[in-house]
Amino acid sequence: MKKIFLLMFTSLLALVISGCNDNKQEQNKKVLKVGMELAYPPFEMSQKDGTPSGISVDFAKALGASLGKEVVIENIAWDGLIPSLKTGKIDLIISSMTITDERKKTIDFSVPYAQSSLAILANKNSGIKSIKDLNVAGKTVAVKKGSTGHIYAKDYLKNATVLVFDKEAACVIEVVQGKADGFIYDQLTIYKNYAKNMDTTVPLLASFQDSPEYWGVAIKKDNPLKKEVDAFIAKAKEDGTFETFANKYLSDAKKTFDKLGIPFFF
C-alpha cells in the first residue's frame, strides 16, 4: 500500500513540476528581453527615476506590440551586450549597433533600420580639419571601447596615439580639456557634444568613410525571430513609424543635417 501511495505521490509531483515548467516556458514566450546600454541619448537613455526611454526603447516596445510580447529592457554595458545575447540572457540587442562583418561571425542582424557615418569632435586648438590630420605622429584620438570608431582608429590611424575609454563622456572630456585632439564617433553624437561645448570644440560632420554604417537589431545565430523582426522593420519604414521617432527625438538635429546635406538616420 505504501508503495502504491509513493508511486501516486511521485506521479502527481512530476505532473505539478511539469505544469510549472510549461507555465514558465509559456510566460517566457510572451516576454521579449531586449538588451541595450542606456548611455546614448536620445537613442538609449533613462529618465530620472531610472525608467528606460529613447528611440530604441520606443522601437523595442513597438516591435514587442507587433509580436504580442511584453518587452523587458535590460540595461547592459556595451561590451556585455553580445555575450548576453549569445548566452540567452536577452533575445535581441537594439542599441544603435552597427552591422559589421566581424560581429556577423558570431551573431545575426536584422535588415538595416538606420544609417550613420563616423565623424570627428576636434579640440578647437588642435588644428584638425580632416581625418588625415589625426593620422599624424604626436596627435591623440579618443575612442569608446568596442565602437566602430575604435575599430576605425586601430585599422587606419596607425600613426596617432589612440586612447580607449569605456564611456562616451570620458572621450568628450579628453577633447574639451585638450588632452586628445579628436574623438571619433557617429555624426549625431558629435553634433550633440559640440552643441554642449561650442567654446572648446569643432564638429567635423562630413563622412570620411567610403560608405555609411548601417544599424541593425542583433539576434542570436539562426533564431527564427529574425524573419519577424525584418518584417516589422520593413513595415515601420513604410508606415512612418521611424519618421515619428525622428520627429519626437531628433527634430533639431534633422534640420541641421538637412542644411549641411548630410543623409539622416532614417
| 26 — pLDDT class (breaks 50, 70, 90) | very low
Q: Measure the CA–CA gap between 229 and 217, rounded to whole angstroms.
A: 8
- Per-residue pLDDT tens for 244-257? 998 899 888 888 88
- Residue 254: its pLDDT value, please? 84
- Given a cut of 50, is residue 105 above it in pLDDT? yes
The DSSP line for the chain is: -HHHHHHHHHHHHHHHHHHHHHHHHHHHHTEEEEEE-S-BTTTBEE-TTS-EESHHHHHHHHHHHHHT-EEEEEE--HHHHHHHHHTTS-SEE-SSPBP-TTGGGTEEE-S--EEE-EEEEEETTS---SHHHHSSTT-EEEEETTSHHHHHHHHH-TTSEEEEESSHHHHHHHHHTTSSSEEEEEHHHHHHHHHH-TTTEEEE-S--SSS-EEE--EEETT-THHHHHHHHHHHHHHTTHHHHHHHHH-HHHHHHHHHHTPPP--
| 262 — pLDDT class (breaks 50, 70, 90) | confident
- Residue 22: its pLDDT value, please? 43
- Per-residue pLDDT tens for 135-184? 999 999 999 999 999 999 999 999 999 999 999 999 999 999 999 999 99
| Residue 90: C-alpha distances to residues 12, 33, 68, 87 (Å) | 34, 5, 17, 8
Domains and CATH numbers, the chain: 29-115+214-255 (3.40.190.10), 118-204 (3.40.190.10)
